[in-house]
């Protein structure tokens, strides 16, 4: 039986106003304008069919509150989208410059709205990850036992500020919050692959989210990938990377140990997301 797949990084379809550059990017990537994309994927049924056709069992769906750079996919939209199926796992977005009490808002989103993680966008929201401004968010996430993801590395969107994407600032966070599960999305691309990899090796609570990186190039970016098989998770970055199925197949073709590929596509994410043991065994055909 083939390994089941968890896509740890998909974006909700932006429903509000978004910057023109981001709309143009989506059209180039998907071949559809924004209105077509919304018409197709505003409700989850078509997206679930896409997951089925891609061999993906579960997907983490990310909210995004970054109106200057990539627009807004509201927490309310992601909450409602994911309530339609247990296969869709909602991660909240909290912009520390747009919320008076970010930690209290995160607690509400988790306890009352059912969110199971947090995604932060330093390069889009303009903060260094080790800024004291966001430490209350980390403390609350650690208390709640939820994982936190950060966009690390570059971005092609207008207005993004790349200096905030250096993963080295997350070393402070890993030291100060050792019980916080941390995921470095995009692995620091393209400037900081080595830094991101070293942080994942060094800190027990730090993982690499391989989202948005062509799988066929992973061993070029991370030549020692198999030294940390327990620290890697797969993500597609849909809709910016629209062909989820091809990315899954490219991971499966990598010259890696089968246990490593299984860990990337399923095992590590299942552990982070705390999928029940029975559910994991069922998916693995045990």
**Strands 232-233 and 206-209, sheet pairing:** parallel
Neighbours of 98 (CB within 10 A): 14
| pLDDT in the model for residue 17 | 64
C-alpha distances out from residue 41 to 13, 58, 118, Å: 7, 16, 22
Rounded CA-CA distance 242/18 in Å is: 19
- Is residue 1's pLDDT more than 70? no
> Which of the four pLDDT bands, split at 50, 70 and 90, describes residue 67?
confident
Domains of the chain with bracketed CATH: 6-283 (3.20.20.140)
In this prediction, residues 114-137 reach a mean pLDDT of: 97
- Is residue 217's pLDDT more than 70? yes
> How many alpha carbons lie under 13 Å from residue 235 in its C-beta half-sphere?
27
Q: Express as a percent the part of the chain with pLDDT over 70.
A: 95
- Is residue 13's pLDDT more than 90? no
> Which of the four pLDDT bands, split at 50, 70 and 90, describes residue 3?
confident
Q: Give the dihedral sign, CA 216/153/56/146.
A: positive
| pLDDT in the model for residue 36 | 82
The pLDDT tens digits for 139-175 are 999 999 999 999 999 988 888 999 999 999 999 999 9
| pLDDT in the model for residue 34 | 75
Rounded CA-CA distance 266/257 in Å is: 14
Mean pLDDT, the chain, rounded, equals 92
- State the pTM of this model: 0.93
In this prediction, residues 82-104 reach a mean pLDDT of: 96
In this prediction, residues 115-123 reach a mean pLDDT of: 98
- Is residue 265's pLDDT more than 80? yes
- Is residue 55's pLDDT more than 90? yes
Better pLDDT: 66 or 19: 66
Would you say 174 and 182 are in contact if contact means Cβ atoms under 8 Å apart?
yes
The owner of tokens 């199926």 is 85
């Amino acid at each position: 039986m083939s390994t089941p797949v968890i896509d740890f990084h998909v974006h909700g379809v932006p429903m509000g106003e978004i910057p023109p550059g981001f709309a143009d990017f989506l059209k180039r990537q998907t071949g559809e304008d924004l209105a077509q994309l919304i018409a197709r994927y505003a409700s989850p049924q078509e997206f679930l069919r896409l997951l089925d056709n891609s061999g993906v069992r579960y997907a983490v769906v990310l909210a995004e509150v970054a109106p200057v750079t990539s627009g807004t996919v509201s927490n309310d939209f992601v909450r409602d989208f994911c309530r339609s199926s247990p296969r869709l796992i909602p991660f909240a977005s909290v912009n520390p410059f747009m919320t008076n009490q970010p930690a209290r808002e995160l607690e509400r989103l988790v306890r009352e709205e059912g969110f199971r993680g947090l995604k932060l966008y330093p390069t889009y929201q303009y903060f260094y990850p080790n800024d004291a401004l966001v430490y209350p968010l980390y403390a609350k996430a650690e208390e709640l036992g939820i994982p936190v993801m950060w966009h690390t590395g570059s971005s092609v969107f207008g207005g993004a500020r790349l200096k905030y994407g250096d993963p080295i600032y997350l070393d402070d966070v890993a030291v100060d919050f050792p019980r916080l599960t941390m995921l470095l999305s995009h692995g620091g691309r393209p400037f900081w692959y080595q830094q991101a990899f070293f942080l994942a090796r060094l800190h027990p609570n730090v993982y690499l989210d391989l989202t948005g990186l062509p799988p066929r190039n992973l061993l070029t970016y991370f030549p020692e990938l198999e030294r940390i098989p327990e620290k890697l998770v797969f993500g597609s970055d849909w809709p910016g990377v629209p062909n989820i199925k091809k990315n899954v197949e490219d991971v499966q073709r990598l010259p890696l140990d089968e246990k490593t590929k299984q860990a990337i596509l399923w095992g590590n994410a299942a552990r982070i997301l705390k999928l029940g043991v029975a559910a994991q065994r069922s998916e693995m055909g045990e």
